[in-house]
Amino acid sequence: MLPKNLEKSGLLLINEIYCIMNFMKASKTIISTLREAPNDAVIASHQLMMRAGLIRKLGNGLYSYMPLGLKAFRKVENIIRQELDNAGMNEMKPTVIQPAEIWKESGRWEKMGAEMLKPQNRGGQDMVVSPTAEEAFTALVRDGLSSYKQLPFTLYQINTKYRDEIRPRYGVMRGREFTMMDAYSFDKDQADLDASYENAANAYRRIFKRMGLTTISVKADTGAMGGSGSEEFMVESEVGDDTLILCPNCKYAANVEKAACKDDVAVDSNGKPQVATDKAVEEIPTPDVKTIEELSEFLKTTAQSFIKTLIYKVENAGVDLGKNNDFVAVCIRGDLDVNEAKLCALLKASDVELASEADVVRITDAPVGFAGPVKLTKAPVIADNSVMTMHDCVTGGLKKDVHFIHVEPNRDFTPMMTADVRVVKPGDICPECGGTFYSKKGNELGHIFKLGDKYTKSMNVTYLDENGKSVTPIMGCYGIGVDRTLASIIEAHHDENGIIWTMSTAPYQVAIVPVMYKEKMKEVADSLYEELKALGVDVLLDDRDERPGVKFKDADLIGYPIRIVVGDKNLPNVEVKLRSADKADLIPATDAAKAVAKIVADELAKLNS
């Protein structure tokens, strides 16, 4: 019989939705734990997933989930699925292999770059292994959308993706094949898109909370995707690939790729704003001085007096850079760095990279180190905002061992564009409240994005509005990396002995470990197993013929939230220990199942609240 309090807590219901098989005998599955993690595993989640036998490597960036790992994976996946379904989104399952045509229609066949895997079928037709699915969903909706009455709706899939990452690393955190939840909203106008976007953001917050993850949402770069608004859901992590810029006073939070700061005025060596000069530009010899530090020393001034000029090669620029030109000269104040993501977004390019030495020599007529915007003719100048408050400054002289002094921006050179392309750093000033930024490392788990009509327009999606007029719907897209989320749960919840799963994501919530699986201990263990099964708790019975020490070590490493030890010396009591606690409790075996089920239910309710 189900105790009343459990019925109320909805434990049975929750676990039924989570998974089909919620019980297992260890002898019937493969538990293959490793004492040592392989050498290429350098972060805790990767090491522990390998050591606990949750995943195994099949190739570079290619990981397979073993039965225990898949159980945890399904829980994560199902939390995502439940919350999206609750938010009124519809799951579907497009194919992973897609025809090249739809990618050609959107223009991303060329723009996407080398991350996209493009096999050919036996007929020699180009195909794509889906790295994302804006095109597929847009094409599928195009076929079925006719009237405004069908809008708005959001479709999603939880499906395999492939990206040919240059440097797959950290196990499933950055794999080549991975699973993503990607959702796409279709709306008639901006107000509806704002509502769909907010709906997705709210679902994300519930999803991560239920898994026991604390996320920070940050303003994000809109990159090659195009579009108007974008936020990333980050978890703080020492091994994070992203840098977050945060304000201690207000809610400003942004990925460094996107972060903006208040413009500051360039100062001279006395800390005073720089003053305009009416002296003409003058060429000075600077033999053997190349770096900004050496130049500051040589000219007895500070880095803020220099305009640093970097030549970038631009791929697929969406703005006109002049005839047959793929290069720009980016000018920025000497103490600052260029943010390539901002530059890429400014130029609507698929990528930017520093030009090769040969290209620099060809464009500047000088060796590397003497580029400057004055008299430069072979590449347009992009000036960071910082340059526009500079006066009487120093630039490269477009000749070996030569610099220009008394340079006045706007007088001596005219940028093709002026924009914010600087890297914002801790210590810079918040543009919204004047606070001083600090920074943290983070990992991106999810992304929400207002796409606008980028895909619906290029791929010709229309519907008839109230007046029978043909109009283009607008889209939003929303992604969560399932594998990366799973790994992040382990990053956030582990100790030196292993994983400490949250109750909602554990492969099994309870492990029953008989000291030896025989006689009275077997009888009690079997009966607890049956009782917990009946109560709807995910339970594993470690019936292996192993030494108790091995079984305890495995239980800690795999990280079941609750362990029940059945040993001769304690019977008729059993030992109930939370993985996160230091001490165990002795409970009469006859009460243990109910007590444990209550702990599970309470913990799930807490995560769910």
Of the pair 175, 452, the CB lying nearest ligand ATP is at 175
Question: d(Cα 72, Cα 54) in Å, to the nearest integer?
Answer: 9
- Overall size of the chain counted in residues: 609
Closest contact distance (angstroms) between CB of 221 and ligand ATP is 9
Prior bond of 380 cis (ω within 30°): no
Binding stretches for ligand ATP (CB under 6 A): 132, 163, 165, 174-175, 178, 180, 241, 444-447, 479, 481, 483-484
Q: Are the CB atoms for 449 and 225 separated by under 8 Å?
A: yes
Of the pair 182, 575, the CB lying nearest ligand ATP is at 182
Of the pair 204, 404, the CB lying nearest ligand ATP is at 204
Closest contact distance (angstroms) between CB of 175 and ligand ATP is 4
The closest alpha carbon to 481, from 77, 58, 19, 133, belongs to 77
Burial 60-80 (b: 16+ CB within 10 A, else e): ebebebbebbbbbbbbbbbbb
Closest contact distance (angstroms) between CB of 152 and ligand ATP is 22
Closest contact distance (angstroms) between CB of 441 and ligand ATP is 13
Of the pair 256, 555, the CB lying nearest ligand ATP is at 256
Of the pair 180, 379, the CB lying nearest ligand ATP is at 180
Q: Which residue's CB atom is positioned nearest to ligand ATP?
A: 481
Burial 414-446 (b: 16+ CB within 10 A, else e): ebeebbbbbbbbeebbbbeeebebebbebbbbb
Closest contact distance (angstroms) between CB of 55 and ligand ATP is 13
Question: d(Cα 503, Cα 73) in Å, to the nearest integer?
Answer: 13
Helix (H) or strand (E) holding 357: helix 357-364
Of the pair 219, 577, the CB lying nearest ligand ATP is at 219
Closest contact distance (angstroms) between CB of 470 and ligand ATP is 31
Q: Are the CB atoms for 58 and 64 separated by under 8 Å?
A: yes
Question: d(Cα 379, Cα 360) in Å, to the nearest integer?
Answer: 10
| Distances 427 to 247, 264, 385, 415 between C-alpha atoms, Å | 10, 12, 18, 28
Of the pair 62, 595, the CB lying nearest ligand ATP is at 62
Residue given tokens 């207002």 in the structure block: 450
Closest contact distance (angstroms) between CB of 188 and ligand ATP is 25
Closest contact distance (angstroms) between CB of 77 and ligand ATP is 13
The torsion region of residue 147 among left (phi > 0), alpha (psi -120 to 50) and beta comes to beta
Prior bond of 572 cis (ω within 30°): yes
Of the pair 168, 396, the CB lying nearest ligand ATP is at 168
Burial 532-570 (b: 16+ CB within 10 A, else e): beebbbbbbbbbbebeeeebbbbbbbbbbbbbbbbbeeb
Question: d(Cα 157, Cα 174) in Å, to the nearest integer?
Answer: 20
Of the pair 403, 484, the CB lying nearest ligand ATP is at 484
The SS3 assignment for 215 reads coil
Question: d(Cα 524, Cα 532) in Å, to the nearest integer?
Answer: 12
Give strand ranges (E) for 369-483: 381-384, 393-396, 402-407, 417-419, 438-452, 463-464, 470-471, 474-481
Closest contact distance (angstroms) between CB of 265 and ligand ATP is 34
Of the pair 447, 450, the CB lying nearest ligand ATP is at 447
Closest contact distance (angstroms) between CB of 520 and ligand ATP is 48
| Distances 601 to 5, 11, 306, 535, 536 between C-alpha atoms, Å | 9, 5, 64, 10, 10
Question: d(Cα 379, Cα 381) in Å, to the nearest integer?
Answer: 6
Of the pair 255, 395, the CB lying nearest ligand ATP is at 255
Closest contact distance (angstroms) between CB of 227 and ligand ATP is 12
Closest contact distance (angstroms) between CB of 127 and ligand ATP is 20
Of the pair 69, 446, the CB lying nearest ligand ATP is at 446
Question: d(Cα 96, Cα 159) in Å, to the nearest integer?
Answer: 8
Q: Are the CB atoms for 132 and 182 separated by under 8 Å?
A: yes
Of the pair 482, 521, the CB lying nearest ligand ATP is at 482
Closest contact distance (angstroms) between CB of 220 and ligand ATP is 8
